[in-house]
Structure 1
Amino acid sequence: MTARVLIVDDIPTNVRLLEARLTAEYFEVLTAASGQQALDLCEAGGVDIVLLDVMMPEMDGFEVCRRLKASRKAHHIPVLMITALDQPSDRVRGLQAGADDFLTKPIDDIQLMARVKSLVRLKVLTDELRARAITGQEIAVEDAIPATESIDADGGHILLVDTDPRGAERLRGYLAGSHQVHVLADPAEAAAAVGIGDYELALVSMSLGQFDPLRVCSQMRTLEQGRTLPIILVADEADRARVVRGLDLGVNDFILRPVEPNELAARVRTQIRRYRYAAELRRSVTNTLALAVTDELTGLYNRRYFDRHLAMMLDKAREQGRDMALLLIDMDFFKAVNDMHGHDAGDAVLREFAVRLRRSVRGVDLACRFGGEEFVVLMPDTDYRQAQNVAERVRTAIAERAFEAGGAGRPLAVTVSVGVALNERPDDTPETLLKRADVALYRAKRAGRNRVVFDAA
């Protein structure tokens, strides 16, 4: 995972120390010695995350953060505030200014990298949603980016998983004035609760007796409703190693006991506001693009949309030095389905195929119907290993269970061949990337079908 990190600090020694730590983890680092310089760099674009010192002359970090979050161009950039102030009220003030997280000096390397990586994952998803909205604008639909700056974070629907009745009631009491909090004492029911409840945040205690709290979180993530659900761990100091593991697995945030009520409230508001912002972007994309850029039969994006979006994302991947992968998927012997069972049966298979494809790819991936029985998946920030995992998951999801096709009588066995290409060449264009994926797909067909083949770049 790589990203462009902006360090904002007026003390050169602090900047060099952070720069060395981040560069060692292969992050690209920009620096700013003043608040105004930081604002200018963020407005210019290309910044993925801001590490912002609080104590600076002329304009302190709180003011810089407020201005960033008020900017239409920069308000979506995650801000990680770094401060020597250790009072809970100071941390809460930073979160209320719009900061997405904070670290207290002296900076712990493990927490630094865990926080940065967590926020980078958020930025990747937000960027992809925003890019899809912009692509919609270019196709001359209505403005697909709503006024999200005024999103309210009160009245959240929160699931609290805690086996300790007294501890759970204390946490519920801290939040009950502004949110609806449902306490769940049996962690084994957490995934089911997420599946049927319209939750906007999950608070999970790290002290769940015989239950592994990280497994509880991962089970939530396996559900469609839980893929984007913010999760905050409530932990003790002794849980630090497992908290870091949880952040690597996709947990959004954590808070240490003893829990300070104002800090908890601020962290909850930040996560709910972020969740609602992403949800509003998704609704906006869905509503404004509509039939102009979607395939009527499958509900996936169409070739017209994909062509525009591929060009944009390839330019962005090249500019930022990020990986990107492309899957070209073709259903094996699909013509025989139409010839033997009729086009109604073929359409039923295509619709079910699209459902399985959507379930098999990640939330950040873009799945489209390329034409006929051919489909394509665009995967930003994806390397060889990740692309292989997703491609195999798609292939298996199609082959492992026969398709019900209405008038076909009996279920139909369907397989797919997949060609994969990565943007490994500096002179790649959308056309050459698609061509290389198509060549890999042809090799998969010749090798016997029902397999994944990578382009031999």
Structure 2
Amino acid sequence: MSARILVVDDQAANVRLLEARLQAEYFDVCTASDGFEAIEVARNQQPDLILLDVMMPRMDGYETCAKLKADPSTRHIPVVMVTALDQREDRIRGLESGADDFLTKPIDDVALFARVRSLLRLKTLLDELRYRESNAAFAELHADINEEQAEGYQAVIVSADPRAAKRYATALPNSVTPSCYTDPAKAVAAARAGTDLLIVDLTAADYDGLRLCARVRSDAETRQLPILAVVSPDDVAKAVRALDLGVNDIIHRPVDAGELNARARTQLRRKRYADRLRASLDQSLEMAVTDPLTGLHNRRYISSRLRQALAGANNGGAPVSVLIADIDHFKSINDLYGHEAGDHVLQGFAKRMHAALRALDLAARYGGEEFLVVMPGAGMAEAQIAAERLRAEVADTPFLLEDGTDIAVTVSIGLAQAQVGETFESLLRRADVALYAAKHDGRNQVQAAEASAA
């Protein structure tokens, strides 16, 4: 995995050493000698990851990290703080300033690159979500990677030692409700049922914690779940393997409560941000194919689905019919009662369509007061039954406005069943001709299209 990494250190020898190590692994490297330069380089070059020294003149690493995370243009870049300091207060302060990880000098190359690859994979995922969301129609993202939720998180803890699991649970933020398990199978089941964080004790000999992590990562239900693994400080191989399997973060035994709290909050904050990115993207995609007034599909979406259904029918698949419905004298409703009343009728009509049609039918507002329904697997007889049911549902019950006014509404409907080899345009044209006939013959009726000439 290639990426651009910014190395920040006021000691030129340290910079050259890290630069050589990273370039040997085919990373592109840029450098800075102090916090001010680091912020400027990060803004201009947008690196994929920052290795940041703590002890620097003018502005130390803690302040530099806090400023990077406060800037919207750089807050999404992972920061790994690198320092000779090894006190718990230093690690916690680094994590609380926004750092994604904290490494102590001298740095083990294997551990360093495992953590770098892990953070780069995560950044790639978040960048892809951010890119898709920013390019989705009607996107309005209000998520912030630094935003924290006050409450409502769930965590699953698995450890062969119940006392250790209880200590981990006690150390978690107050916003988290923990559930502790000694049985890995039960822990996985709990994770699949829904949780926000999984803490796995990899020091236990009673079960294979790495296999548990791999299983969680391979399951579609838990693939995006943050995993925090507890490892022995001298078991570098297991820590590296865990990171390569997709574990998000590592904490060493004996576990410090403050450090566990800080690392858990980092993972939960990042998960919440990713979840909101996905939700925003889903909402944007939904809006792109939905009519905002009625909640039905829009013209673009229904046209695409009809073409798919036609392709299937033309290749020997199930038949497909279409229904075009047009509300009678809709202009007079707007003229007599106002456009707000007209919108109310359109919304009510959409609800009645859902009630009258089959579950697999696809309904859309095709334009103005005209609606199109694609009926997969339906022949003309089935389509006529559904169309007549819709016509009666509209005609038999007036639409009631908020002021108590009743509006009598009727609908005219044209039907057509696709013929072998028929095009999208031809099918809609025949249904439209049938609709015109229904209008011409007195409205409030269903007309079926004649077969096209061979």
TM-score category, normalised to shorter length: 0.5 to 0.7
Q: Does 1:270 align with 2:266?
A: yes
1:146-181 Cα deviation digits (max 9, x unpaired): 355433375531100112112112222222644211
Q: Give the letter aligned to residue 184 of structure 1.
A: Y
Name which of structure 1's ranges 278-287 and 170-179 shifts more when overlaid on structure 2. 170-179
Residues 258/153 of structure 1: CA separation in 2 closer, same or farther (3 Å cut): farther
Alignment partner of 1:184 is 2:161 = no
State the match for 2:363 in structure 1: none
Q: 2:252 aligns with which of 253, 256, 273?
A: 256
Q: Which runs of 5+ in 1 are unaligned?
A: 303-330, 345-404, 409-457
Query: Root-mean-square deviation (CA), in Å?
Result: 3.0
1:201 aligns with 2:178: no
Structure 1 SS opposite 2:115: helix
1:407 and 1:212 mapped to 2: Cα distance?
A: 53
1:225 equivalent to 2:221? Answer yes
Match of 2:411 in 1: none
Q: CA deviation at 1:298?
A: 11
- What letter matches 1:290 in structure 2? E
Contact preservation (8 Å) 2:133, 2:280: yes
Distance of 2:312 and 2:151 partners within structure 1: 53
Over residues 67-114 of structure 1, what are the superposed CA-to-partner deviations in whole Å (9 max), with x where a residue is unaligned? 011001111110000011110110100000000001001111111101
Structure 2 CA distance for partners of 1:149 and 1:175, relative to 1, 3 Å: closer
The answer (yes or no) to whether the contact 1:4–1:49 under 8 Å persists in 2 is: yes
Between stretches 147-156 and 93-102, larger displacement belongs to 147-156
What TM-score does the superposition give when structure 1 sets the normalisation length?
Answer: 0.64
Contact 2:173 2:261 in 1 (8 A): no
Query: Does the 8 Å CA contact 1:7/1:51 hold for their aligned counterparts?
Result: yes
Report deviation, 1:243: 1.6
Partner of 1:104: 104
Larger Rg: 2
Cα distance in structure 2, aligned partners of 1:15 and 1:61 = 15
Q: CA deviation at 1:336?
A: 5.8
Name the SS for the 1:229 alignment partner. coil
**Could you tell me whether the CA contact under 8 Å between 1:43 and 1:73 is conserved in 2?**
yes
Residue from 128, 143, 155 that aligns with 1:158: 155
Q: TM-score, normalised by structure 2?
A: 0.64
Cα distance in 2 between the residues matched to 1:67 and 1:2: 26
The corresponding residue for 2:9 is 9
- Sort the Cα spacing of 1:234 and 1:179 in 2 relative to 1 into closer, same or farther, 3 A: same
Q: 1:167 to 1:26 in 2, by over 3 A?
A: same
What's the CA shift string for 1:287-311, capped at 9, x where partnerless? 2342326899999x98xxxxxxxxx
Q: What is the total number of aligned residue pairs between the two structures?
A: 317
Paired AA for residue 225 in structure 2: L
Aligned residue in 1 for 2:131: 131
Whether contact under 8 Å (1:133, 1:145) holds in the other structure is: no
CA distance in structure 2 between the aligned counterparts of 1:239 and 1:148, rounded to whole angstroms: 32
**2:288 paired residue number:** 292
- Alpha carbons of 1:42 and 1:153: their partners in 2 closer, same or farther (altered >3 Å)? farther
For 2:149, give the aligned amino acid. Answer: D
- 1:28 maps to 28
Distance 1:340 1:259, change over 3 A: closer
Q: Deviations over 1:369-428 (max 9, x none)?
A: xxxxxxxxxxxxxxxxxxxxxxxxxxxxxxxxxxxx9789xxxxxxxxxxxxxxxxxxxx
CA distance in 2, matches of 1:40, 1:253: 28
**Structure 1 vs Structure 2: percent identity of aligned residues?**
48
1:338 Cα deviation after fit: 5.3
- How far residue 51 of structure 1 moved from its aligned partner, in angstroms, is 0.4
3-state SS in 2 of match to 1:225: coil
- 8 A Cα contact 1:154 1:269, kept in partner: no
Deviation at 1:280, TM superposition (A): 1.1
Query: Paired residue for 2:66?
Result: 66
Instruction: Name the counterpart of 2:319.
Output: 342
Matches of 1:339 and 1:297, distance apart in 2: 29
